[in-house]
Amino acid sequence: MAGIQEQEQVDVAAPEVAVPAAREFAVENPATGEVIAHCPDLGAEEIAAMARRGREVQPAWEALGFEGRGRILKRMQKWLIDHQEEVIAVIRSETGKTYEDALIAEISYGAAAFGFWATNAEKYLAEEKVKSSAILVKGKKLRLRYKPLGLVGVIGPWNYPLTNSFGDCVPALAAGNSVILKPSEITPLTSLKLAEGLKACGIPDGVFQVATGLGATGAALVDQVDMIMFTGSTATGKKVMKTAADTLTPVSLELGGKDPMIVLADADVERAANTALYYGMLNGGQTCISIERVYVESPVYDEFVAKVTEKARALRQGDGGAGTADVGSMTFPPQVDIVERHVEDAKAKGARVVVGGSRGHHDKGYWYEPTVLVDVDHTMLAMTEETFGPTLPIMKVRDEEEAITLANDSPYGLGASVFGKDTGHAEAVARRIDAGAVCVNDALVNYSALELPMGGAKASGLGTRHGAGGIRKYCQQQAVLITPLALKKDPHMYPYNAKMTGRLSKLFKFLYGRGDRG
Ligand code: NDP
């Protein structure tokens, strides 16, 4: 069987597959360009075998109940913290992110998520007693039940292999489903490492499986499962939805973004500059809700640009240990070309690069310098297409109306932020932006509030993760009606007769036809 060739700091087991894969693919460390592992490239037959396995073991997993499943998830929370250095090493080896980016945005999210879903799954999925005003169901018991769908497929991107790939598996498991995770071919090792953890914490065999492979593996998974949770680009999300239409498989799609930030004239410019830089450059700008473009009201534009420029010049880029670098390498080699194309396009159309603007001086790996652009406008790709890199284009605007119009001038609607000391006013501005999430005097941290829904408007997605909707989507809503005191025949049943029809007609008039209903 094709397995993982362990090298250097990467220490993960090969995925369990019922049928050996004939092919394999290489995984690189993007900070160095070195091949660090090989994984099986699973085909449709192997995925079908994994799906059979997942379905076989699901009923017993569901029967464990919230408490039994929660115990395993809570153990996994501790396992993750106990093994955090190993997991960080694996994440960094396949993404090139800094130590702090892995700790703050991956480990802390993952650990919180295990505890959160272990504790809250039952609350969100508790059977509900429903009261109805419908006359035909008087005296009957009505219940709403959330029943696990069975086998859930999760397809994830490369930017956050723990938070965005694995993170979506946690509520699906807590709800009582078996899960097959298809991580990005760029970053499969983190998922395999976490599968080891779940196994050590006692998850029954086959309940959680990792299907490594290329895009075709993801497409094959869509055909096999009862629901697909997809995170990735809008283009691939559309393909997934088309494939899922053949089997009427429900999808939840978390897609691309081009998040705007608006700095109003009364903003605390120091906070706005710090936030823009941090949430623009975090994870090398490879975050779906990173700040991708900034609109600044003219009275504070020069001060804002001066502060961002000074702070961006001080950023350290590298792949050393904790505390040695602020920004890491890019993760996906072709993404460097996209970033370069956006910067060159902006320059050609009149933008100025005030910081960065090149791949820097690295003799290996895939890097792009933290880059600040000014004199930008909406003729430039850097302001209209998702760059997904360490760039911060800043545009001067006349007033907030122009800022809102430009913020909404995008096919995307994932997140947005507005900065202003009058928070009531800033909030009113934020509420006019078409986005799944808006922040005032902040950005991105809304993602860490697992109680708050996270999802995109417009081309940024369908459905949400987190909150009640983030676990109910992994369940069939089953309506249950029970008639405890059952007559031999209800009055409206056959045979119809004029007397009963007249009575019913009077009843409906009494119930719905009285008074002036405006
Ligand atoms: P892609 O859309 O390229 O890939 C996402 C996943 O889909 C990968 O595992 C990929 O496999 C797989 N895939 C590729 N083709 C198919 C197919 N035909 N059927 C099924 N699966 C397929 O996205 P990226 O990995 O490049 O991630 C970056 C994108 O993700 C950005 O646009 C970003 O904004 C978005 N994103 C959105 C988030 C959100 O919450 N809204 C969060 C994080 C990222 P393989 O890699 O092997 O090709």
- Centre of ligand 1 to C-alpha 1, Å, is 27
- Ligand 1 centroid to 236 CA: how many Å? 6
CA 394 to chain CA mean position, Å:
26
Q: What is the pLDDT of residue 13?
A: 56
Tell me which amino acid residue 229 is: M
What average pLDDT score do residues 205-227 get? 98
Least confident of 181-185, 247-251, 394-398, 483-487: 483-487
Which CATH number is correct for 259-450, 3.40.309.10, 3.20.20.80, 3.20.10.10, 3.30.465.10? Answer: 3.40.309.10
* Ligand 1: centre distance to CA 445 (Å): 22
Q: 341-377: per-residue pLDDT in tens?
A: 999 999 999 999 999 999 999 999 999 999 999 999 9
For residue 6, pLDDT over 50 is answered with no
| The pLDDT of residue 517 is above 70 | no
Residue nearest to atom 14 of ligand 1 (CA): 215
Is the C-beta atom of 256 inside 6 A of ligand 1? yes
User: What number is the average pLDDT over the span 115-123?
Assistant: 98
pLDDT at 379 over 90: yes
Task: Tell me which residue has its CA closest to atom 22 in ligand 1.
Answer: 215
**31-85 pLDDT per residue, tens:** 999 999 999 999 999 999 999 999 999 999 999 999 999 999 999 999 999 999 9
Q: Which of 174, 195, 187, 64 is nearest to 125 (CA)?
A: 174
Coil, strand or helix at 42: coil
The CB of 114 under 6 Å from ligand 1? The reply is: no
Q: Are 324 and 318 in contact (CB under 8 A)?
A: yes
How many other CB atoms are found less than 10 A from the CB of residue 206? 20
Classify each residue of 272-282 as buried b or exposed e, where b means 16 or more C-beta atoms within 10 Å of its C-beta: bbebbbebbbb
Among 253, 283, 288, name the best residue to mutate to test ligand 1's pocket (greatest count of ligand atoms within 8 A of Cβ): 288
Cα–ligand 1 centroid distance for 157 (angstroms): 4
Coil, helix or strand at residue 176: coil
Residue from 212, 231, 286, 454 whose mutation best tests the ligand 1 pocket (most atoms within 8 A of CB): 231
Share of the chain above pLDDT 90, in %: 94
| Angle at which helices 215-224 and 234-246 cross, to 10° | 40
- What pLDDT, on the 0 to 100 scale, is given for residue 21? 61
Mean per-residue pLDDT, 201-230: 98
| Structure tokens that stand for 154 in this block | 């999760």
Length of the chain: 518
Distance CA 424, CA 101 (A): 32
Domain boundaries, the chain: 25-255+468-476, 259-450
Question: CATH topology of 25-255+468-476 equal to that of 259-450?
Answer: no
Give nearest CA residue, ligand 1 atom 4.
232
**Tokens matching residue 429:** 């501005």
Please, what is the average pLDDT of the chain? 95
Which residues belong to the active site? 254, 288
How would you class 341 by CB atoms within 10 Å of its CB: exposed for 0-12, middle for 13-18, buried for 19 or more? middle
Q: Which of 24, 42, 155 has most ligand 1 atoms within 8 Å of its beta carbon, as the pocket-test mutant?
A: 155
Alpha carbon distances (Å) from 10 to 37, 38, 190, 504: 8, 11, 10, 74
Residue 231, ligand 1, Cβ within 6 A: yes
Q: Please name the residue ranges forming H helices in 43-187.
A: 44-63, 65-82, 84-95, 99-102, 108-125, 169-174
- Domain 25-255+468-476 CATH superfamily: Aldehyde Dehydrogenase; Chain A, domain 1 (3.40.605.10)
Confidence grade of residue 11 (pLDDT, cut at 50, 70, 90):
low
Q: How many CB atoms lie within 10 A of CB 6?
A: 14
Judged against a pLDDT cut of 50, whether residue 1 lies above it is answered with no
Q: What is the DSSP string of 195-256?
A: HHHHHHTTPPTTSEEE----HHHHHHHHHH-SEEEEES-HHHHHHHHHHHHHTT--EEEE--
- Tell whether ligand 1 has an atom less than 6 A from the beta carbon of residue 414: yes
Task: Pull the structure tokens for residue 229.
Answer: 């949770």
217 Cα: distance to centroid of ligand 1 (angstroms): 13
Write down the pTM of the prediction: 0.94
Please state, in angstroms and as integers, the Cα–Cα distance from residue 352 to each residue in 163, 345, 355, 371, following that order.
35, 11, 9, 11
For a pocket test of ligand 1, which of 154, 184, 238 has the largest count of ligand atoms closer than 8 A to its C-beta?
A: 184
Q: Give yes or no for a cis peptide into 495 (omega within 30° of 0).
A: yes
Pairing of strands 415-419, 259-263: parallel
What gap in Å lies between CA 408 and CA 401, rounded to an integer?
11
Backbone angles phi, psi at 159, to 5 degrees: -75, -35
Under a CB-based contact definition with an 8 Å cutoff, are residues 56 and 62 in contact? no
CA distance 465 to 345: 35
pLDDT of residue 516: 73
Q: How far is the CA of 188 from the centre of ligand 1 (A)?
A: 13
CB 354 near ligand 1, within 6 Å: no
pLDDT in the model for residue 518: 62
Q: Please tell me the residue having the least CA distance from ligand 1 atom 42.
A: 288
Instruction: Please tell me the distance from the alpha carbon of residue 252 to that of residue 244, in angstroms, as a whole number.
Output: 11
Nearest CA, atom 25, ligand 1: 157
Q: Which of 192, 227, 232, 195 is nearest to 215 (CA)?
A: 232
162 lines ligand 1 (CB under 6 A): no
User: 207: CA distance to ligand 1 center in Å?
Assistant: 23
Q: Does residue 9 register a pLDDT over 80?
A: no
Give the E-state strand segments of 221-351 in sequence order.
Answer: 227-231, 251-254, 259-263, 291-297
**DSSP secondary-structure letter at 486?**
-
Closest atom of ligand 1 relative to the 221 alpha carbon = 20
Closest-lying ligand 1 atom to the alpha carbon of residue 232: 30
For the Cβ of 159 lying below 6 angstroms from any atom of ligand 1, the answer is yes
| Rounded Cα–Cα distance for residues 104 and 202 (Å) | 27
Question: Is 155 a pocket residue for ligand 1 (Cβ < 6 Å)?
Answer: yes
